[in-house]
Structure 1
């Protein structure tokens, strides 16, 4: 251990104290030994360090910081260097605010388009997500602080996220849900990893020995720190055994005592605690070095310009009928849509950033050079219908040559802690599109949202620019693309299906009670649509340009593929060339093709460049469940270069030598997986894939409620008071939603309705402890007066213990002998 001498000077109590937070965002300190607190701050796309009382939900305003485009947006750039540059800017701002650990990037897979936090994640493809995350981590950590890749792992739904058990087979786990983390940790060298809230195959992720020890530590040789998601600790001692150093936020010393008791009773060795303390100290000492120098404020305008550059390169042109874009300066333009007046530029929840500057579309129109004739709101962003607004918008549209229509999803629809209920944009926006089309067919839509939506209205617009959530400088970036100052070069990092029913997880998302079953196996996103021959609206990797590109001269050898790209149009522009690989053998089920490399190339009109995409250790591998390791199947492989998943321009065949592993599957019992049509797999076939019986997915309503049951389950609790509380919560949510207080209504669902009872102790910073929670559960389970007495008695004991503990800390900090 690096800090063995220092650790020997610590008491057992001091060592245990370092394993949980001092408050909501800071770690504990030991002043007598010169061990300072670390500050951890949210920051997937901007720093969220709160100036006032701390909370995890984005309620209190944070110190101003640059709001860069979200991960779902920058993923469309397919530009590793650009994403690394974003990381550098984030790191600089973190240092200026004295943040040791920046909690990002998030790299969970987009299993379903409805997952509420998709705007914070890169892609449905693990290779793309991993490469971009590695770049961002390198950039953040280039300033000496730590990134924190999250949420490890298979955290793919928000509903019941703190208690849901994810049931997934080992091969799918490795190939789809862990590969991005593997790349981020091995290539990005992330110093910190955040464990997810959920369970994985029966064990909470931060207690899961297979995930945390066998894979993360032993296979990937990870030597950094694991921190829980806020309130994500279940059994603190089990978490410590798995190598989970830091529990956040504070529990006012309660879980420290659990660690001490476990060591004193011989349940765990003190050496395990020492190992965790050593890693935590290394994180502290390496990240605080940068603060020894005088920190300076960052250049607000320079960072804003960088945010604009990233937004520009991430815009995706999805439709350009009759080359309606770019617009000509002499065309009369009407701007319609609430999102033009008040931009939808970031997500909601723990990632919300207080921007340093915020560009506005209406204010930026003058410098765009467009002939602007007026603005109408057209619709209410939260879905309230108004014929008057539509009529006024249509009157304006009649006078215009082109209508610029700003549409999308609102802030309460895409939010942490909640999944979306449908893939549609609000009905009042769709009604507006149809009404506008009747008076002016020249409509260019600008779509702002962080996730996939259905587009049954797409035939009513001639142009469609998707800006995703483009950050504080997005408005100007979009206008520059509209007038041709920027040639759109973004390509979709996720597939757009025609309708929700087409999605592979449609029948098994989200898990509503105990568990969620990943019956589709590795067939998520384009892997499913492509293999099962399901038509989609826009394929993975798709994006138009104002110019055209031609691919030629492909050459393939064992090291990689080389080819030429020529800009055959009239505009300078960038093209994202994508390498896909498909195995011709049918002995092991696989997707038809999988992304294994990509590059972005800038070309002037008429220019040709030679491009090489090398193969790596992930190009031909698959995870063999019989040998329990990565193998290569000896076979012929299709090597494909495409402009998207479904637009393959060049193709060659390569024979690859295998590792000689035994075949892992019986074709006869896994027919759905061998066909790729895995959206309605039977439980028997899923069990054959898993190798064991699927656990019961519904609540047992006959047993008393416990720590990991949720407030939602009070609907069937034995206690009358609990059932009353459940009704009050649901009625409050319904009432707040109807009167327009939708953010508050969402907060009730996220922080109360789906919260496990243990969250009362883990998330309240010492206001309630686990013995008090025992009393609450007595009340819930029908023993009201006994439970109330227990709560009051334990509260009195807790307050007395807290006073004694604080006195002990004060004495220790004064250097008194204990």
Structure 2
């Protein structure tokens, strides 16, 4: 233990220790002036600094200082470039240090289990190796500037619907192989100083109180020695969190939970040594960080880095007959689509950055030397029919020889706190696209959005460029790709299914209230589609270039793979070489994915040039997680190491004999669909056999009184004041959406997922637990009794505060 940390802690009173492990306000820890312990600031975000100078919130409601908005994680993942992620991390660390921010709350690296998850834009990939490797590089970059990164949300934060109460039911093998492996790589490879626990439960226990997750796995198995912080308002049982390994509760609860900690220690229900260990973790973080006097960040240089990050991440999905790049001979071009002029470059919620500037594609196109005949928005930003906008766009297209059509998901579609309702583009965009295609002229689609969408027109347009959410410099970067100034090198870090119904979790995702059953187990993304041979729109790892690459001389063993790559085209470019491991008989005979990504490298080559690359295969390249043994186990057999340009574009194969255990991965007699891969057909009985335990009830129980542990949404349909409360929140959200204020609408709806217990804790001392008793009586159809209790409790609280205005 650091001697200075121990010395400080030994001088602290019990009250000071309890106080140090919770927030002073929304973004800062509590100082201990008597001992010279300063307050430090934690703030969002994963792809840009969101430091609020005024009113504070966790949902992007109030303004923050200008900062560089880099591409979101979903976009950066398409670069497959760890060095680029390190540079972005360094820049974010510089901006945080310049603003005296000690902890940057990112990166987010939850697995993208389902395309409709509302925060997919904040996460890297459906694959843990891509997620973990890129997150580790990002973390190292941030922390090289003396600012802590925070890997989040630990763990299995797979949906936004009921996120503060949902119980994620996942089998132990999938937990380790899919949902935890990226975190392991990020934390061990990046030496993360902090981890943020998630709101949800994992197999019945809140993540923030889950001793197996926070102590057994994070600390003992992986060797993490940093600090665990709650998500904002993510504390259920403060004492339980301390015991599990959570050191810091954020934001401030007005002293409510500090008193709980003091009482627990004094009453003997919390070992003082446990509190001391958590205090040590807070003090160590303060000592490591507390940036003061850092030089101002170079925001001009950071904008150029944001442009470069977008360039490396843009994906060319389709390019029929070499339509792109557009050159001087492209003829008259009509630019259509609202996203051209007003780019959608980031998501919404706690990661919402106030950019220092924004490059629009329309401005960049007009400066690119192309013959632009005009621009029309073509459709309303939100899905509302407009004959006038559509007719003006078609009239413009009639005057052109080609159409650049900018489509995408609008701001209401992807946001923290809500999941998407479907995987389609807005109907007004689809209608316009069909009308433009019918003109018979080349149509080039430019997409914006942080997660897959259905593309029914994909085979009938001439090219598709996907910018994802490309940050404040994305407009310029997209035009450089369109015109060939930049050769696209992004590759998809997630699979694009043909339709949402093809997703193995589509039948159940967000359909239940109390639990979310991960019946698909390890078969997430390409692991599922490749197992069952399902057709997809674009496979994992897919992306095109303006040049071509050949592969030769693949050599592999148990630890490394080597291949020679040659640029066979006529322009410089970059190839992302992907190494997959194919397990013996995995395609049909055993409970394993047919192939899994186990290494990758980005190779930049001039025309005609070759390079031989050596890549270390992932630590568990030939392993499965053995549930009975509680550890990883190498499975013996003859494996194929594959080199390819996507999970379905395999160029070379090399055989590798692996020594290990020949035992089966599971008792597969009861798991036929896990052997075949058709997990969309898994029954409750089969899933229970995999779990080794009965399934909990998937929906809320009705007919009982609501408690402090229930959420506001459970007032729906209860009648009386509870039903009215739900109606007012729900209606307010709908009205705000109709007024075209999607961020405010989504954030209003967020209240529905708030547990009643969080109301006093997040009220800043204006609402206490005694008042909550009255509120619960009111929603439980005892309105007048509850109202009297609530008013009396409010008066008592007011009297206490007037007698002791400095309390808490």
TM-score (structure 1 length as normaliser): 0.96
Q: Secondary structure at the match of 1:507?
A: coil
- The answer as to whether partners of 1:101 and 1:148 remain within 8 angstroms in 2 is yes
Gaps of 5+ in 2: none
Q: Deviations over 1:141-167 (max 9, x none)?
A: 000110001000000100100000111
Alignment partners' CA distance in 2, 1:13 and 1:795:
26
Q: Secondary structure at the match of 2:140?
A: helix
Alignment partners' CA distance in 2, 1:616 and 1:109:
18
* Superposition RMSD in Å: 1.5
C-alpha change, 1:616 and 1:390, in structure 2 (3 Å) is closer
Find the counterpart in structure 1 of residue 312 from structure 2: 313
Alignment partners' CA distance in 1, 2:533 and 2:769:
52
Find the counterpart in structure 1 of residue 779 from structure 2: 780
Alignment partners' CA distance in 2, 1:512 and 1:710:
15
Find the counterpart in structure 1 of residue 87 from structure 2: 85
Find the counterpart in structure 2 of residue 677 from structure 1: 678
- The answer as to whether partners of 1:433 and 1:460 remain within 8 angstroms in 2 is no
Deviation at 1:516, TM superposition (A): 0.7
Alignment partners' CA distance in 2, 1:593 and 1:121:
22
Find the counterpart in structure 1 of residue 14 from structure 2: 12
Deviation at 1:680, TM superposition (A): 2.2
- The answer as to whether partners of 1:775 and 1:789 remain within 8 angstroms in 2 is yes
Q: Secondary structure at the match of 2:181?
A: helix
Alignment partners' CA distance in 2, 1:40 and 1:430:
42
- The answer as to whether partners of 1:233 and 1:762 remain within 8 angstroms in 2 is no
Q: Deviations over 1:655-698 (max 9, x none)?
A: 111156x5452221000001111112100000000000000111
Find the counterpart in structure 1 of residue 377 from structure 2: 377
Matched, 1:411 2:390: no
Q: How does 1:188-227 map to 2 (within 5 A)?
A: 188-227=190-229
- The answer as to whether partners of 1:155 and 1:161 remain within 8 angstroms in 2 is yes
- The answer as to whether partners of 2:624 and 2:665 remain within 8 angstroms in 1 is no
Deviation at 1:652, TM superposition (A): 1.1
Deviation at 1:308, TM superposition (A): 0.3
Q: Deviations over 1:162-199 (max 9, x none)?
A: 00011111110011000011011101011010000001
- The answer as to whether partners of 1:434 and 1:460 remain within 8 angstroms in 2 is no
Find the counterpart in structure 2 of residue 582 from structure 1: 582
Q: Deviations over 1:48-76 (max 9, x none)?
A: 00111111111111100000000000000
Q: How does 1:281-680 map to 2 (within 5 A)?
A: 281-288=283-290, 290-291=291-292, 294-330=293-329, 331-585=331-585, 588-659=590-661, 663-680=664-681
Find the counterpart in structure 1 of residue 694 from structure 2: 693
Deviation at 1:398, TM superposition (A): 1.6
Q: Secondary structure at the match of 1:600?
A: strand
Alignment partners' CA distance in 2, 1:637 and 1:647:
18
Find the counterpart in structure 2 of residue 110 from structure 1: 112
Deviation at 1:297, TM superposition (A): 1.3
Match of 1:233 among 235, 248, 260: 235
- The answer as to whether partners of 2:624 and 2:632 remain within 8 angstroms in 1 is yes
Gaps of 5+ in 1: 810-818
Deviation at 1:392, TM superposition (A): 1.1
TM-score (structure 2 length as normaliser): 0.97
- The answer as to whether partners of 1:381 and 1:409 remain within 8 angstroms in 2 is no
- The answer as to whether partners of 1:585 and 1:636 remain within 8 angstroms in 2 is no
Q: How does 1:143-162 map to 2 (within 5 A)?
A: 143-162=145-164
Deviation at 1:725, TM superposition (A): 1.7
Find the counterpart in structure 1 of residue 763 from structure 2: 764
Q: Secondary structure at the match of 1:506?
A: coil
Deviation at 1:800, TM superposition (A): 5.1
- The answer as to whether partners of 2:256 and 2:761 remain within 8 angstroms in 1 is no
C-alpha change, 1:801 and 1:256, in structure 2 (3 Å) is farther
Q: Secondary structure at the match of 1:390?
A: helix
C-alpha change, 1:38 and 1:228, in structure 2 (3 Å) is same
Alignment partners' CA distance in 2, 1:632 and 1:771:
56
Alignment partners' CA distance in 1, 2:159 and 2:602:
31
Q: Secondary structure at the match of 2:721?
A: helix
Alignment partners' CA distance in 1, 2:694 and 2:227:
34
Alignment partners' CA distance in 1, 2:513 and 2:25:
32
- The answer as to whether partners of 2:61 and 2:743 remain within 8 angstroms in 1 is no
Q: Deviations over 1:419-449 (max 9, x none)?
A: 0001000011111111112224211110011
Find the counterpart in structure 2 of residue 169 from structure 1: 171
Q: Deviations over 1:224-262 (max 9, x none)?
A: 111110110011111111011111110010000000011
**Alignment length (residue pairs):** 803
